[in-house]
Amino acid sequence: MKAEQLKKLLIEKYPGPEWALIFELSKGVGWIGQEGRIDVAAFNCWPSKGHHRLAFEIKVSRSDFQRELQQPKKRMWVEENFDETYFVVPHNLIKEHEVPETWGILMATKKGDKLIRRKMATPRDTPELPEGLALSAIRQLSAQMLNAERNHYYFEGVAILTQEMIDKKVARQLKEAFEHERDALHNMQNTVLEMQRESNDYVAELQAPLKKLAELINEWYHTRFRRPLKRHQRHLVEITEEDVVQWAEDLKMHAIKSVLVDAKKARDGLDSLLKAAEEEGLKPKTEG
């Protein structure tokens, strides 16, 4: 758990306007301010509460806590000017008997969602707020407000700039995707139309042998059958067996030639369809 997380929990536990929290508060201004500093100071703003003053030392590791215990003089000015003093730590970082006698413990829960008072600090009778400490608190509070304002405008500007960049990138990607899909759809439509035309041509070519057979039959009919010279005669000239045999041979030869030619055209048309489908990434279905 990080120190910033513990600071946020302190803000939630000691909210305004009752409490004013000041971070990194020095002992005073000038050279005196360099003699000591506390992580967080909380000033109660209600007169009915006696303007109670609390001090918090944040520790996130055992080594940092042990170093603090080895410097008791560093904490003396805090003990002299604050009614209660606490160590603020993650869950189960320290034990109650390890802290100085008058100090308390605020410990984060296991989930890290709030602070609980594991040990109550011993209240002290403190004098009026020293002028140097008051000036230090005012200066630090002013700095916090300025930093907050700068951070607000900074992050607001970053958020606006980032959103603009995201919007432009999304718009560009949508445009590229739309153009790509439009081109793909256009190519697909052209392919479908071409396949429809080739299919129609193929069907027409398949019907060609039937048309040619009909033409042959019609030609044979007008060639082999002759109408009589006189109108009152209703019968036709008799067809001999030799005529029928010769007609059958002629018709067979014509049919074979026509079917061979049409089969070649049909194969060429099918090859064109398969080539167009392969160019579009389509594959014929296979059984099994």
Task: Report residue 148's pLDDT band, with 50, 70 and 90 as the boundaries.
Answer: low
What letter does residue 172 receive in the DSSP assignment?
H
What pLDDT was estimated at residue 31? 63
Cβ within 8 Å of residue 67, ≥6 positions away: none
pLDDT at 175 over 90: no
Long-range contacts of 138-143 (CB under 8 A, 24+ apart): 139/29, 140/22, 140/23, 140/24, 140/25, 140/26, 141/20, 141/22
What letter does residue 240 receive in the DSSP assignment?
P
What letter does residue 122 receive in the DSSP assignment?
P
What pLDDT was estimated at residue 88? 95
Task: Report residue 221's pLDDT band, with 50, 70 and 90 as the boundaries.
Answer: low
Of 160 and 74, more confident: 74
pTM above 0.75, yes or no: no
Stretch 118-131: mean pLDDT: 88
What pLDDT was estimated at residue 183? 73
Classify 231 as helix, strand or coil: coil
pLDDT at 235 over 60: no
Of 152 and 59, more confident: 59
Stretch 99-113: mean pLDDT: 93
Share of the chain above pLDDT 70, in %: 62
Stretch 130-157: mean pLDDT: 68
Stretch 167-189: mean pLDDT: 73
What pLDDT was estimated at residue 102? 92
Stretch 143-170: mean pLDDT: 60
Mean confidence (pLDDT) of the chain: 76
Q: Considering only CA atoms, which of 51, 54, 43 is closest in space to residue 79?
A: 54
What pLDDT was estimated at residue 154? 44
Kindly state the helix (H) or strand (E) to which residue 234 belongs, with its residue range: none
Task: Report residue 243's pLDDT band, with 50, 70 and 90 as the boundaries.
Answer: low
Of 112 and 254, more confident: 112
What pLDDT was estimated at residue 227? 47
Least confident of 65-69, 80-84, 221-225: 221-225
Stretch 213-227: mean pLDDT: 58
Question: Cis peptide before 17, with omega less than 30 degrees from 0?
Answer: yes
Task: Report residue 119's pLDDT band, with 50, 70 and 90 as the boundaries.
Answer: very high
